[in-house]
C-alpha cells in the first residue's frame, strides 16, 4: 500500500504549524478583549444544516460539499464553513432566551471539494467570529476594529478592506435591485460566460464577482446595489461608513463585492492583500440578519467574518521555534535522564541523545540544537555527583555540583 495524503489536504509541520498556533493565540487574545467566547463545534453536521442555510445554488453547497452517509443512512456533511454550525448551536440551546447578545469565535478546519492551487486547499482552516443580537451598525464597526487590532497584533501589513451593502429582503431593496441587475445583464446575455448565463436565473448577484474579463467588462457599468437600498439599509450603510471614518478605518467601496453565500444581507466586506496573488482574499464576512428565519426561527440580527488561516500564514512573518536552553551530554542513561527531568521540571527546554552516541556526535547535536548550555555527565562527574557545565555563549566551562549547575542555568535562562 502506498501511503499518501488525500489530494488538496496537507500536513502542517514546523514553521507552518508554529505560524498557525501563533495566529490562533493572537486571535484568542484580541477577540477576548471584545467580549467574544470560543466555541468548538463538530466537523460533521447534518447535511441539511448547510443545504437549508447556505443555499443549494451556492458553489460551496451545490458543488463542493463533502457528503457522507452514516450507518443509519443519515446524510452528513463535513462543514464547508463555520457560521451555520454556530447558528445551530444558538438555536438548539436557546442561547438568546438567556441573553440578548451572544458573541463567539472559532478556529478549525473546513472542507470544500475545490480545485487545489496556491492558497486553495480542500481542507483549509478558518478563524471565524459571529455576533448575534445587535442590529446597530456599531456591531459592524466592531468587526473592523477588531480585525484592525488583530492585524496589528500579528504584524500584518498591506491589507485593506472592501465593503458593500447588498440590502435586505424588503421588495423595494434587494429584490428590486436583482430585477434591475437581471434586466441589465439580459441586454448582454450572449457575451457573458456560460456560468454567468446560468447565474442570471439562479444567483444574478454572483455575475458581479465573476473573474472572466468579458463578464467583468460588462458588469463594470452594471447598476450598484448601494444605489438601490431601502431607507433602512441606506441609513445603516451610511452610518457604518461614518463610523469607519470616525475611527480612521480605511476602506474601499466595491459594487462587485456580493460574497458567495445566500444568507448575507446589508453589510458585506472582504479583507484583501495584494501580496496573495490570484487568491487575494484573506477573509470576508457580513451581516446575515435573515439566516435564523431560514431555519424557521425568529429573525436575529447577526454579523460575522471568517479569515483564511492558510492565506494569513502566507502573509505573516515566520515564527522561530524557541531552542532548548540546555543539552545534557553523557553515556549513563539513568544519570542523564535524571538531570534532564530536573531541568524540564523547572520549565526549561532540555534536549539529550537517547541513543547515547559518541561524545563527538553528542557535541554535534548540542551545537545543532542551538542551546546556551551543555551539561556534561562523564564517568567522573557521575561518580562525584557533579556536572561539567559549558556555557556556549561565553565559552567558559566549570565543574559544579548538580544543584549548583541547575541553579546557574536557571539564573541565566529564566
Q: Residue 27 or 230: which CB sits closer to ligand AMP?
A: 27
Region for residue 325 given its phi and psi (left: phi exceeds 0; alpha: psi -120 to 50; beta: otherwise)? alpha
The interface region with ligand AMP, picked from 163-171, 228-236, 275-283, 358-366 by CB under 6 A, is: 275-283
Task: Based on the shown chain and the rule CB under 6 A, indicate whether residue 126 belongs to the binding site for ligand AMP.
Answer: yes
* The one among 59, 140, 262, 310 contacting ligand AMP by CB under 6 A: 310
CB of 213 to ligand AMP, least distance (A): 22
Closest C-alpha to 243, from 225, 267, 259: 267
User: Closest CB to ligand AMP among 310 and 353?
Assistant: 310
How deeply is 155 buried, as exposed, middle or buried, from its count of CB atoms within 10 A (0-12, 13-18, 19+)? Answer: exposed
Between 15 and 345, CB nearer to ligand AMP:
15
Q: Does 308 bind ligand AMP (CB under 6 A)?
A: yes
Q: How many CB atoms are closer than 10 A to CB 115?
A: 8
Block residue for cell numbers 463545534: 41
Residue 311 sits in the site that holds ligand AMP (CB under 6 A):
yes
Owner of C-alpha cell 445551530:
88
Q: Which residue is nearest to ligand AMP (CB)?
A: 308
Per CB under 6 A, the segment of 144-152, 204-212, 277-285, 396-404 that binds ligand AMP is: 277-285
SS3 category, 149: helix
Q: Which is nearer to ligand AMP, 83 or 290 (CB)?
A: 83
Specify the DSSP class assigned to residue 206: G
Give the shortest CB-393-to-ligand AMP separation in angstroms.
42
CB of 143 to ligand AMP, least distance (A): 13
306 interacts with ligand AMP by CB under 6 A: yes
Instruction: Give the SS3 label for residue 44.
Output: strand
**Considering beta carbons, is residue 282 or 375 the nearer one to ligand AMP?**
282
Stretch that binds ligand AMP, among 119-127, 140-148, 218-226, 382-390 (CB under 6 A): 119-127
Burial (0-12, 13-18, 19+ Cβ within 10 Å), 5 = exposed
The interface mask with ligand AMP, positions 279-298, x = CB under 6 A, is --xxxx--------------
Contact 266, 289 (CB under 8 A): yes
Contact with ligand AMP (CB under 6 A) among 22, 28, 120, 148: 120
Smallest distance from the beta carbon of 284 to ligand AMP, in angstroms? 4
List the one residue from 57, 114, 170, 391 that touches ligand AMP (CB under 6 A): 114
The mark string for 222-261 relative to ligand AMP (x by CB under 6 A, - otherwise) is: --------------------------------------x-
Determine if 209 is a binding residue for ligand AMP (CB under 6 A): no
- Positions in 76-95 near ligand AMP (CB under 6 A): 81
The residue range among 65-73, 118-126, 313-321, 344-352 that interacts with ligand AMP, by the rule CB under 6 A, is 118-126
Number of Cβ within 10 Å of residue 2's Cβ equals: 3
Burial 246-275 (b: 16+ CB within 10 A, else e): eeebeeeebbbbbbbbbbbbbbbbbbbbee
| Residue from the set 26, 79, 103, 112 that interacts with ligand AMP by CB under 6 A | 112
Rounded alpha-carbon distances, angstroms, from residue 380 to 34, 337, 387, 398, 401: 59, 17, 9, 14, 12
Q: Which residues pair with 76 in a beta bridge?
A: 46, 68
Region near ligand AMP per CB under 6 A, out of 16-24, 121-129, 183-191, 235-243? 121-129
Could you tell me how far CA 293 lies from the centroid of its own chain? 27
- 189, 243 contact by CB (below 8 A): no
Question: What is the grid cell recorded at 285?
Answer: 464576512
CB of 66 to ligand AMP, least distance (A): 12
292 burial (CB, 10 Å; 0-12 / 13-18 / 19+) is buried
- For ligand AMP, give the closer residue by CB, 114 or 170: 114
Query: If binding means CB under 6 A, how many residues of this protein chain bind ligand AMP?
Result: 17
Residue 138: which of 34, 41, 55 has the closest Cα?
34
- N-to-C CA span, the chain: 49
The residue ranges that bind ligand AMP (CB under 6 A) are: 81, 112, 114, 119-121, 124, 126, 260, 281-284, 306, 308, 310-311
Amino acid at each position: 500500500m502506498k501511503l499518501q495524503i488525500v489530494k488538496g489536504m496537507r500536513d502542517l509541520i514546523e514553521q507552518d504549524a508554529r505560524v498557525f498556533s501563533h495566529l490562533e493565540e493572537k486571535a484568542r487574545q484580541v477577540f477576548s478583549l471584545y467580549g467574544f467566547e470560543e466555541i468548538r463545534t463538530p466537523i460533521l453536521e447534518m447535511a441539511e444544516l448547510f443545504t437549508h442555510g447556505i443555499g443549494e445554488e451556492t458553489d460551496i453547497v451545490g458543488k463542493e460539499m463533502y457528503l457522507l452517509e452514516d450507518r443509519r443512512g443519515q446524510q452528513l456533511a463535513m462543514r464547508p464553513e463555520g457560521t451555520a454550525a454556530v447558528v445551530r448551536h444558538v438555536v438548539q440551546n436557546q442561547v438568546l432566551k438567556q441573553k440578548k447578545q451572544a458573541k463567539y469565535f472559532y478556529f478549525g478546519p473546513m472542507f470544500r471539494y475545490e480545485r487545489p492551487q496556491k492558497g486553495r486547499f480542500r481542507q483549509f482552516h478558518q478563524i471565524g467570529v459571529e455576533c448575534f443580537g445587535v442590529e446597530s451598525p456599531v456591531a459592524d464597526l466592531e468587526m473592523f476594529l477588531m480585525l484592525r487590532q488583530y492585524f496589528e497584533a500579528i504584524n500584518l501589513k498591506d491589507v485593506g478592506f472592501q465593503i458593500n451593502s447588498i440590502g435586505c429582503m424588503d421588495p423595494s431593496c434587494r429584490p428590486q435591485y436583482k430585477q434591475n441587475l437581471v434586466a441589465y445583464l439580459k441586454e448582454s446575455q450572449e457575451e457573458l460566460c456560460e456560468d454567468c448565463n446560468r447565474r442570471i436565473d439562479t444567483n444574478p448577484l454572483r455575475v458581479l464577482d465573476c473573474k472572466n474579463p468579458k463578464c467583468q467588462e460588462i458588469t463594470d457599468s452594471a447598476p450598484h446595489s448601494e444605489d438601490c437600498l431601502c431607507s433602512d439599509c441606506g441609513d445603516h450603510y451610511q452610518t457604518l461608513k461614518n463610523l469607519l471614518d470616525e475611527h480612521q478605518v480605511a476602506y474601499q467601496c466595491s459594487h462587485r463585492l456580493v460574497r458567495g453565500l445566500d444568507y448575507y444581507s446589508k453589510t458585506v466586506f472582504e479583507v484583501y492583500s495584494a501580496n496573495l496573488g490570484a487568491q487575494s482574499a484573506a477573509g470576508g464576512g457580513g451581516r446575515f440578519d435573515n439566516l435564523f428565519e431560514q431555519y424557521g426561527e425568529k429573525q436575529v440580527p447577526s454579523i460575522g467574518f471568517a479569515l483564511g488561516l492558510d492565506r494569513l500564514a502566507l502573509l505573516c512573518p515566520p515564527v522561530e521555534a524557541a531552542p532548548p536552553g540546555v543539552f545534557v551530554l553523557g553515556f549513563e542513561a539513568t544519570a542523564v535522564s535524571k538531570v534532564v527531568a530536573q531541568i524540564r521540571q523547572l520549565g526549561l527546554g532540555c534536549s539529550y541523545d537517547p541513543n547515547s552516541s559518541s561524545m563527538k556526535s553528542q557535541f554535534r547535536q548540542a551545537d545543532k540544537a542551538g542551546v546556551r548550555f551543555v551539561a556534561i555527565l562523564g564517568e567522573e562527574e557521575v561518580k562525584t555527583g557533579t556536572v561539567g557545565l559549558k556555557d556556549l555563549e561565553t565559552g567558559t566551562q566549570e565543574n559544579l555540583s548538580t544543584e549548583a549547575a541547575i541553579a546557574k542555568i536557571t539564573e541565566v535562562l529564566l
